[in-house]
Amino acid sequence: MKRLLFWAFAFVAMAACAPKEAAPVKKDMCVQMYSARSILNNGNYAELLKTIAQMGYTAVETASYDDGLIYGDTPEVFKEKVEAAGMKPLSAHVSRSLTREEMDKGDFTAALEWWDKCIDTHVKAGMKYLVTPWIGLQQSLQDLQVYCDYLNEVGRRCKAAGLQYGYHNHAYEFEKVEGKVMFDYMLENTDPELVFFQMDVYWAVIGKASPVDYFHRYPGRFRMLHIKDEWEVGQSGMVGFDAIFKNAEKAGLQDFVVEIERYKHDDILVSFRESADYLLQAPFVAPSYSK
């Protein structure tokens, strides 16, 4: 009996001294659902959300809006599915381009009616941000100014509804329009109180621009970032993610979104996991940037 008690106490002591398994790293990390476009079907994404939530993603950014529906669902149903997976709806890429007639007249009436319904839909979905992902390379500063005025008006309506409104770049915004870099002109001619910029850091690099340089030239304008690479995040060596995240405060960063546009793997969920693991393990990525 004494020997049995001895070994019982010894086992408890050894268990207490044994190194504990490290708790899983948790970081606020949104994912752009466009990344899963090849396997994403309208109304059939609940299991996908659960799978990517288990990888460490905490929120979603959508790329599907059609006349009041998000991925074929009402905003309320979409919100329920996201939250049931343990994630939250955070942001949406939505766009309503201006026609040539609207541009020439400077009349945004029909476009803003479209936006009013879009804004209402995404408020019901529980979103924090709406982001326009594309306006195309403008041919004159006059046309570009019309678009800046338009973005300001959309931002005003979003703000009134409790949403934050932003613009997402590709590479062409770093080209010049009548001698002025388009991206710079947009930053300087939109109201910081109404329009933020969701810098896609990969496209900025492709456009031969330095994200960190822009953070310092236009501090506080980059409330969101698209964290993207040539393939899975962190694997190309093309994008200086460490410098980007170390300058997050200067950028004004509150949330970042992972987007995987191209894959090295046949199973794209492997690419999701590799990108998540890179960011979760990176010492330069903070647990949260929300204020």
Q: 142-166 pLDDT, tens per residue? A: 999 999 999 999 999 999 999 999 9
With 80 as the cut, is the pLDDT of residue 2 above it? no
With 50 as the cut, is the pLDDT of residue 16 above it? no
Does residue 260 fall inside a structural domain?
Answer: yes
Q: Can you tell me the distance from the alpha carbon of 237 to that of 258, in angstroms, rounded to the nearest whole number?
A: 16
Residue 89: in which H helix or E strand, if any? strand 88-93
pLDDT at site 82:
97
Does residue 19 fall inside a structural domain?
Answer: no
Q: How does residue 43 score in pLDDT terms, banded at 50, 70 and 90?
A: low
With 50 as the cut, is the pLDDT of residue 13 above it? no
Does residue 129 fall inside a structural domain?
Answer: yes
Range of the domain at 60: 24-281
Pairing between strand 176-177 and 180-181?
antiparallel
Does residue 11 fall inside a structural domain?
Answer: no
Does residue 9 fall inside a structural domain?
Answer: no
The 10s digit of each residue's pLDDT in 235-279 is 999 999 999 999 999 999 999 999 999 999 989 999 999 999 999
Cβ contact 264:232 at 8 Å: yes
Q: What's the structural domain count of the chain?
A: 1
Does residue 246 fall inside a structural domain?
Answer: yes
Strand, coil or helix: 167: strand
The 10s digit of each residue's pLDDT in 81-104 is 999 999 999 999 999 999 999 999
- Spatial neighbors of 253 by CB under 8 A, at least 6 apart, are 222, 223, 224, 225, 289
Residue 248: in which H helix or E strand, if any? helix 248-251
Does residue 88 fall inside a structural domain?
Answer: yes
- The CATH number that applies at residue 268 is 3.20.20.150
Q: Span 44-57, mean pLDDT?
A: 94
Does residue 15 fall inside a structural domain?
Answer: no
- Spatial neighbors of 217 by CB under 8 A, at least 6 apart, are none
- Lookup result for tokens 């490290």: 22
With 50 as the cut, is the pLDDT of residue 19 above it? no
Residue type, 72: G
Burial class (CB in 10 A: 0-12, 13-18, 19+), 159: middle
Q: Span 115-125, mean pLDDT?
A: 98
